[in-house]
Amino acid sequence: MALGTAFRAFFAAIFNRDLASKLKLVLDQPAATLALPDLSARDVATGVADPPDAGSPEKPTRKLSANDDRSDAITLLVALQREARLIDLVKENLGQYSDAQIGAAARPCLQQCAATLDRLFGLRAIESVADGQTIAVPNNASPSRYLWIGESSGDDQATNGKLVHHGWEASQVELPKWTGATVDARVIAPIQVKRI
């Protein structure tokens, strides 16, 4: 289902700069000439490529040492699962539901995700003008802040362009500090057991 794939790609790209670059290359290609890069399922799920000599069915994983804390990526996933049940939504077998049912489930999840991200990161648009307006791009602008897209008109020194997306930036980072046991550092949601 495209919705689940979009969520997975979104969060994979947030947590892995190399994978985000690969996804950008794919998305920037015209659909008619789309050639997917060679990504294994492990690349997409974890952002870690399989080692070239991986012959065993078990994939190697990085072991947590006694000095490891929970990563910020896991902390963010914990918050999105706890407050919006995002992982439950993206891991659900969506093929068994109609588009209307998926939309009904996705709406509150996305609203709660937005509220969680705003609370943790204070998300704000980088550019305040409306999409489609002409904006001036500073000379030597950072490609992390300004990304030229589309066909070039031959003027590689252009300083004005049409705004396609206003961009996002975090005004804060307020992730909770992990205080649990190292053995639980990768737990995103606990097993829930009802007393009988």
pLDDT at res. 30: 59
Residue 150 is assigned to a structural domain of this protein: yes
162 — pLDDT class (breaks 50, 70, 90) = very high
Residue 38 is assigned to a structural domain of this protein: no
CA 43 and chain centroid, separation: 13
Residue 159 is assigned to a structural domain of this protein: yes
53 — pLDDT class (breaks 50, 70, 90) = very low
Q: Please give the average per-residue pLDDT across 50-76, as a whole number.
A: 60
As a whole number of angstroms, the distance between CA 157 and CA 165 comes to 21
pLDDT at res. 41: 43
Asked whether the beta carbons of 11 and 5 are under 8 A apart, the reply is: no
pLDDT at res. 159: 85
Strand partners for 170: 123
Q: Which residue type is seen at 124? A: R
Least confident of 21-30, 44-53, 55-64, 75-84: 44-53
Beta strand residue intervals within 90-178, DSSP E: 123-125, 134-136, 160-162, 168-170
As a whole number of angstroms, the distance between CA 57 and CA 9 comes to 25
Please enumerate, as own/partner, the contacts of 167-172 that have beta carbons within 8 Å and a separation of 24 or more: 167/125, 167/126, 167/127, 168/123, 168/124, 168/125, 168/126, 169/123, 169/124, 169/126, 170/121, 170/122, 170/123, 171/121, 171/122, 171/123, 171/124, 172/120, 172/121, 172/122
Residue 27 is assigned to a structural domain of this protein: no
Residue 41 is assigned to a structural domain of this protein: no
pLDDT at 127 over 80: yes
Cβ atoms within 10 Å of 11's Cβ, excluding its own: 18
86 — pLDDT class (breaks 50, 70, 90) = very high
Residue 2 is assigned to a structural domain of this protein: no
Beta strand 160-162 with 168-170: parallel, antiparallel or unpaired? unpaired
pLDDT at 36 over 50: no
Strand partners for 160: 136
Residue 157 is assigned to a structural domain of this protein: yes
Q: Please give the average per-residue pLDDT across 92-115, as a whole number.
A: 94
- Quote the domain boundaries for residue 160: 127-166
Q: Please give the average per-residue pLDDT across 123-143, as a whole number.
A: 92
- What's the structural domain count of the chain? 1
Residue 135 is assigned to a structural domain of this protein: yes
